[in-house]
A and B are shown apart, each in its own frame.
Chain A
């Protein structure tokens, strides 16, 4: 049974990326209390990648995995109750036994169809049927890993088919049916609110905030032009640009409404000057 009080407080964290590893280790503890890892980058890997990972492990800083390929939104084949990739799960189980994370998370999305990995977070149509499928997949994962699972609200650029539920209803129903926690990405809330024309604060107010365990904050890119059809998208979620004031404000708003156990600055590209990232971390620290 989900209870926020069961989750330990981790405070501020940063995404471990290979371009940031040295800076993070040099910075030491103090500002950053934990690191988030993309677990798929550390399974079945040897060489430098493994050596660097072991170095981070030995620093004793807590590591929390945030997956991209668990694909909780994949519908199972006929005759199956859940959809999963055994190879991936076995790799993750081995990794989790080393890092002993307090929880793990992934997006409400589909990254695998049949046995093909799509290499992006494809949205899941917001239907009652999808809620059941996702909830079954999550329950299976929580049982398999014996760890609490958090779903992240993703940014999305298409509804795909006529939705039966709005975004908040969809998320709340998944949370309830699967009895898991929420990783609320405030940048994604902002991106979706602008792209799909809704009020971000109202969206947050309607969420089941008692299930928010972790928050992501990141930057984005405005006016992305799709080179295939030349259409311009209002905002693209990139994790590669400075955080906008409106997104910091959303974090402050969430923090004022509910207890957050861990906050993560996500930066996946344009690493540039590490001092600018440290500045963003300090801004987040002040908000919290």
Chain B
């Protein structure tokens, strides 16, 4: 094994706080590496604070400590910078974070939502999947908390930070279709009921509206066929208007 390889393993261990026992790096080198550590953290803190802006509102006072622990335990394995946020939801749900910091119960879901927005904003799925009926840049998220309401609450400047942190929010399940609008290229959300999720699942499989109607009628009262057809028609029209359905 080359000496350079060994030095670089020590550098990695120092930067990730995994060891203090070095054979090749001396105390001065470690002090100098602290400059790099500080620069790496400065950029990550700034980037993650803007990407996870609502979570940041709640975690601001401990942000540096949180990001340091995150980078040490979930370092990025991607050459693309925005991907440093990829494992943030997993970190927040891990014992590493949960045993050390206090946080509201909905935080894990909030962070998952925020990461999904970053991921979809940058996604190249539309270039890979050009024949899809559904907008190809989307994710369906099922939450136990009313995440959209929570975000509105956190963004409300009339509410104090203290209240935002301490107010207990009750569970109330929410299903969201998070997607990138094909025209504005901005990320949008659409609230889903269980039946709409089912329709989306069929659309994803490439079924036509007639086939979907048949399937839904098999599981419902066949006397309601015309009503189901009409409701499906309105739903599909709406999904089209919202750029969720793009080749219908």
Q: A residues engaging B (CB < 8 A)? A: 40-41, 43-51, 69, 73-78, 85, 87-88, 91, 110, 112-120, 122, 124-125, 127, 129-130, 133, 157-161, 224, 226-229, 231, 233
Contacts and interface: CB of A to CB of B under 8 A. Distances in A.
A117 B29 contact: no
Given A113-B9, A125-B7, A161-B7, A69 B79 contact: yes
B138 to A, nearest CB: 13
A127 B34 contact: no
Contact of B12 (A113, A125, A127, A231): A113
Contact of A114 (B12, B32, B84, B126): B12
Interface stretch (B35-43, B106-114, B238-246): B35-43
Contact of B25 (A40, A76, A119, A161): A161
B122 A47 contact: yes
B80 to A, nearest CB: 6
Contact of B185 (A48, A69, A74, A118): A48
Contacts of B34: 226, 228-229, 231
Contacts, number: 132
Given A46-B127, A117-B76, A160-B29, A129 B38 contact: no
A41 B81 contact: yes
Interface residues of B, number: 47
Given A117-B76, A120-B40, A133-B2, A231 B31 contact: yes
Given A50-B127, A229-B34, A76 B122 contact: no
Interface in B179-200: 180, 185
Given A46-B123, A119-B76, A157 B35 contact: yes
Given A44-B124, A116-B77, A157 B36 contact: yes
A117 B123 CA distance: 20
B186 to A, nearest CB: 8
A46 B126 contact: yes
Contacts of A88: 79
A44 B78 CA distance: 11
B35 A87 contact: no
Nearest to A116: B75
Nearest to A44: B124
B1 interface: yes
Contact of A45 (B11, B24, B33, B122): B122
Given A114-B12, A159-B29, A226-B34, A47 B123 contact: yes
Given A129-B3, A227-B38, A117 B124 contact: no
A228 B37 contact: yes
B185 A47 contact: yes
Given A47-B137, A76-B2, A231-B31, 10 more contacts: A46-B123, A74-B8, A75-B8, A77-B5, A87-B78, A87-B79, A116-B76, A117-B76, A118-B12, A119-B44
A283 to B, nearest CB: 28
B121 interface: yes
Among A43, A112, A125, the one with the most B-chain Cβ atoms within 10 Å of its Cβ is A125
Interface string B113-150: 00000000111111100000000010000000000000
